[in-house]
Amino acid sequence: MKAWFEITLWKRVMLGLVLGLLVGLLLYYPAGEWTGNSAAVANFADTWLKPFGDGFVRLIKMLVVPLIFTTLVAGVTAMGDPKKLGSLGGKAIALYLGTTFIAVSIGLLMGTIFQPGNGVEILADTSSQSAVSDRISAASAADASIADKLLAIIPTNPAEALAAQDVLGIIFFAIIFGVGCLMAKEKAKPVQSMIESAAEVMMKVTVMVMELAPFGVFFLMSWVMATKGLAILANLGLLTIGLYLACIVHIVLVYGLGIVKGMLGLPFMRFFGGIRDAQAVAYSTASSAGTLPVTIENVSENLGIKKSVAASVLPVGATVNMDGTAIYLGMVALFAAQALGIDMTPAMYLSVALGATLTSIGAAAIPSAGLLLASAVLSSIGVSEEQSLLIIAMIFPFDRLLDMMRTMTNVTGDAAVASAVAKWEGELDEDVFRHEATR
């Protein structure tokens, strides 16, 4: 057992992925398709493999509400001074939200181009196909009024929003609650301390759940391969290619040419050279929080950003700036829509873009956090709870590979926004920024 835990988690996850792939393919082909027992194999997979995978997915979804609320409130209160929300913090958050909306738009574009969900068969609810159609129609009707959609973000009863897992309502209340804590100053210290402690506890609980990821991936991968065969790999391959391409486009065009070169007039190749260590750590660990010390060091030593700015902007970015996650959520929504035959209307696209932008804010800076929030965006286009679990179960075995690129995108965005805020606040040494990176 000790030897097992000495292996890094991502390696254990990959081991579960490979073993699950082999077991699933053995069930699908030699035991099923080649011998005419496909129905029996599918029944076996649904009975003995899928429940274990579903249990792991449910453990993940269990974390969504407390994780979003505690980490987001803790992120807002970490600003320390309410005045920062109006100057340094306000500029950073405005840039974070702006780039996130652009990111999810790029993700939706790539999802439309690559069509990763086409040909994927997702069973409807066990009730009837008409029930699914009714939900889709209802979702489309609800999306007809964008004003109503925006107003629905404001919860009339925060407790009800928490109980109903209304993620956008929870995010709105968490931000307002965090701002209230800052405004209350010393009187809010006990509440802040409790929330910060709760956020730390939820991080530890998440780590505990993620220790089960190798087994969850094994059972999910075995079930997917045993019921879908190799055909599903083509769809997931398109999803992966689309996500990587979307992230690269966003990094180069929005961060490099848009912010660093266009808005700041600084050499964007120097920017990428200065943060290459942070990008490498982000890609390998898939954790924005774990990369934070390296990011702060890179931007301070190589880009000339004063540590006072780096220490204020980057931790907020690790909570708020989730552009890679927003891209991912948009693409997963289109994957589900294409698999279920949902015709996306312009209002539904806008709903997904807005939902992914706001929902990604609540993503914790830990591996696979984006997948925790996928169901919230899927529900906005009429995907049922059962179908949402199926979509997540199909994608999760490959999520590590996707999450690595998402995290690298997030960390790059953190550094770009920190550069912009530092220059606007007069806290950027441009001589250092323009010099060849030494670290």
State the SS3 of the chain: CHHHHHCCHHHHHHHHHHHHHHHHHHHHCCCCHHHCCHHHHHHHHHHHHHHHHHHHHHHHHHCHHHHHHHHHHHHHHCCCCHHHHHCHHHHHHHHHHHHHHHHHHHHHHHHHHHCCCCCCCCCCCCCCHHHHHHHHHHHHHHHCCHHHHHHCCCCCCHHHHHHCCCHHHHHHHHHHHHHHHHHHHHHHHHHHHHHHHHHHHHHHHHHHHHCCHHHHHHHHHHHHHHHHCCHHHHHHHHHHHHHHHHHHHHHHHHHHHHHHHHHCCCCHHHHHHHCHHHHHHHHHHCCHHHHHHHHHHHHHHCCCECHHHHHHHHHHHHHHCCHHHHHHHHHHHHHHHHHHCCCCCHHHHHHHHHHHHHHHHCCCCCCCHHHHCHHHHHHCCCCCHHHHHHHHHHHHHHHHHHHHHHHHHHHHHHHHHHHHHHHHCCCECHHHHHCCCCC
How far is CA 41 from its chain centroid? 33
Residue 360, both tokens: 């990604």
Q: What is the dihedral of CA 184, 188, 193, 194, to 10 degrees?
A: -120
Q: 174 with 362: CB under 8 angstroms?
A: yes
Angle between helices 189-210 and 167-184 in degrees, nearest 10: 140
**Hey, what domains does the chain have and what are their CATH numbers?**
2-434 (1.10.3860.10)
Residue 282, both tokens: 């982000």
Ranges in the chain, pLDDT < 50: 124-144, 437-439
Q: Report the pLDDT value the prediction gives residue 137, as an integer from 0 to 100.
A: 44
Q: Report the pLDDT value the prediction gives residue 260, as an integer from 0 to 100.
A: 95
Residue 147, both tokens: 């004003």
pTM exceeds 0.75? yes
Q: Report the pLDDT value the prediction gives residue 376, as an integer from 0 to 100.
A: 73
Secondary-structure breakdown of the chain: helix, strand, coil percentages, each rounded to the nearest 5: 80, 0, 20
Of 395, 424, 420, nearest to 321 (Cα)? 420
DSSP conformation class of 384: -
Q: Report the pLDDT value the prediction gives residue 125, as an integer from 0 to 100.
A: 47
Residue 270, both tokens: 């120097």
Q: What is the b/e burial string over 332-342, where b = at least 16 CB atoms within 10 angstroms of the residue's CB?
A: bbbbbbbbbeb
Tokens 């266009």, residue?
Answer: 262
DSSP conformation class of 126: S
Residue 268, both tokens: 């964007």
Q: Report the pLDDT value the prediction gives residue 332, as an integer from 0 to 100.
A: 92
Q: 391 with 235: CB under 8 angstroms?
A: no
